[in-house]
Amino acid sequence: MIVKRKADRNYMIAKIALAGAIATTANPSFAQITPDTTLGREPSVVVPNIQIRGLPADLIEGGAIRANSLFHSFLQFNVNDGQRVYFANPTGIDNIFSRITGNDASDILGTLGVNGAANLYLLNPHGIIFGPNAHLDVAGSFVATTSNRFLFENGIEFSATNPQAPPLLALNVTPGLQYGAVAYGTTIENRGNLKVGKDLTLVADNLNLQGQLQAGINLTLKAGNTVQIRDSVTHPFIAAAGSQLLIEGSNNLDIFALNHPHSGIFSNGDMILRSTNTVKGDAHYTSGSNFRI
């Protein structure tokens, strides 16, 4: 374990710039986004071939608006390599919640974004996979979780396993948002380059992380079982937070990222590695504040 402390150096990329070309989908079913019927008269709607940031994209509209939050529900949700999928951000919406109620994991192989500044929450109890060409175009915060539901401060839940439309009540999202139970064995895998403007949070039973993760503010990586982090001689692993960074594997924290010269774990604020068992942490660490294990 190699630890450095540099309070003044900024390891974050301050401005996200994403560009890509839309590719022909060789297997349309693989890239399928299918809204379900659980929102009743407020269904999610996918509008293809919309120009967003000067390039074609699929835009997700509709959904159920409650106070400053927008809710979407899908039977399956996949983004193909080269595909660009954005959530519309209506005026006054600060948070966009999306759940997958089907039985398949979500493959995010292209660009997933928000056409605005809202925070984006993605919930799939069967797993989420970010491929090597996956990107996020999210100016706010992004949360991906394999929990079965979002729990709000006032007792309201938005569940993927018992899906119902959110009630016509005001929802207090932050502070107070919690996650339901994470199914045993569910995994979030990342081999892509995930950057967001604010907080980046991944929560699952297992996290298999090989790509790059960069958060403008806080980076949180939490697993009920194991967090495994790896790099290779050709692909670095980078985890970087503009403020605090937390990596927690309740049963196992297994980090080996010394194969690439650019690999490392960086925070401008506190850095915490947490597990009930021995932390295996072979990597370069640089913290601008406290470093705790």
Distance CA 63, CA 171 (A): 15
Q: Cα separation of 168 and 231, whole Å?
A: 46
CA distances in angstroms from 160 to 1, 72, 118, 181, 213, listed in the order given: 40, 11, 21, 11, 26
How is the chain split into domains, by residue range? Answer: 2-12+27-292
pLDDT score recorded for residue 23: 36
> How many of the other CB atoms lie within 10 Å of CB of 205?
21
Radius of gyration of the chain (CA): 18
Q: Residue 215: its pLDDT value, please?
A: 99
Burial of 250 (0-12, 13-18, 19+ CB in 10 A): middle
Predicted local distance difference test score (pLDDT) of residue 10:
42
Per-residue pLDDT 10s for the chain (293 aa) are 555 554 444 433 333 233 333 333 334 434 589 999 999 999 999 999 999 999 999 999 999 999 899 999 999 999 999 999 999 999 999 999 999 999 999 999 999 999 999 999 999 999 999 999 999 999 999 999 999 988 887 778 888 988 877 765 555 555 456 777 787 889 999 999 999 999 999 999 999 999 999 999 999 999 999 999 999 999 999 999 999 999 999 999 999 999 999 999 999 999 999 999 989 999 999 999 999 98
C-alpha 242 chain-centroid distance = 17
DSSP codes, 107-154: EE-SEEEEESS-EEEEE-TT-EEE-TT-EEEBSS-EEEE-BSEEE-TT
- CATH class, domain 2-12+27-292, is mainly beta
* Strand (E) or helix (H) holding 272: strand 271-274
Q: Which of 102, 144, 143, 150 is nearest to 126 (CA)?
A: 102
Q: Give the pLDDT confidence score for residue 245 in this predicted structure.
A: 99
Cβ count within 10 A of residue 2: 11
Residue 234, CA atoms < 13 Å, CB-side half-sphere = 2
